[in-house]
């Protein structure tokens, strides 16, 4: 697949939506993960923080050969 891609994870009422888009923003793949009970805003933030840490660690390990997020939360 040529060009740059974007990954977007959207936390919404009732679930989490995962997108992969091309450079122009066209959606190439989309998945929806339903949660049993709608998250509160605080729960959505916590879920997003966990996903951010997982992606951070995966990229850091894949690029730098080490994992170092230590539960680091994204900056607001």
Owning domain of residue 27: 5-64
In the chain, what is the greatest distance between 2 CA atoms, to the nearest angstrom? Answer: 39
pTM (global) more than 0.85: no
In a domain, 71, yes or no: no
SS3 65: coil
How many CB atoms are closer than 10 A to CB 9? 14
The answer to whether 25 and 49 have CB atoms below 8 angstroms apart is no
pLDDT given for residue 62 in this prediction: 87
The tens-digit pLDDT sequence of the chain (76 residues) is 557 899 999 998 888 999 999 988 899 999 999 988 888 888 889 999 999 999 999 989 888 887 665 555 555 4
In a domain, 58, yes or no: yes
Residues making up the chain, counted from first to last? 76
In a domain, 60, yes or no: yes
Number of domains the chain is built from: 1
Question: DSSP label at 66?
Answer: -
How many CB atoms are closer than 10 A to CB 6? 14
């Amino acid at each position: 697949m040529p060009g740059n891609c974007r990954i977007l994870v959207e936390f919404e009422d009732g679930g989490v939506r995962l997108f992969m888009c091309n450079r122009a923003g066209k959606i190439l793949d989309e998945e929806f993960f339903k949660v049993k009970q709608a998250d509160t805003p605080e729960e959505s933030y916590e879920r997003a923080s966990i996903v951010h840490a997982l992606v951070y660690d995966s990229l850091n390990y894949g690029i730098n050969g080490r994992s170092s997020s230590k539960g680091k939360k994204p900056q607001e």
